[in-house]
């Protein structure tokens, strides 16, 4: 499980990738990159790893 800070960082990073033209990993009716990133996070398809020390 991610903390709320990790979720915010992951969604922000993924939304930026989408806004810059990265392929969307899910079928979605949304057009807003943040909403798409949130949906990807909920489905567990975002290719970002969290490393905790």
Predicted pLDDT at 22? 96
Q: Could you report the per-residue pLDDT of 1-30, keeping only the tens digit for each?
A: 899 999 999 999 999 999 999 999 999 999
Question: Where does residue 23 rank: exposed (0-12), middle (13-18), buried (19+ CB within 10 A)?
Answer: exposed
Domains, the chain, with CATH or none? 4-43 (3.90.940.10)
């Amino acid at each position: 499980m991610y903390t709320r800070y990790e979720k915010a960082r992951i969604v922000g990073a993924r939304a930026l990738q989408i806004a810059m033209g990265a392929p969307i990993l899910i079928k979605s009716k949304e057009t807003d990159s943040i909403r798409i990133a949130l949906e990807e996070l909920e489905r567990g398809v975002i290719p970002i790893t969290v490393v905790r020390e």
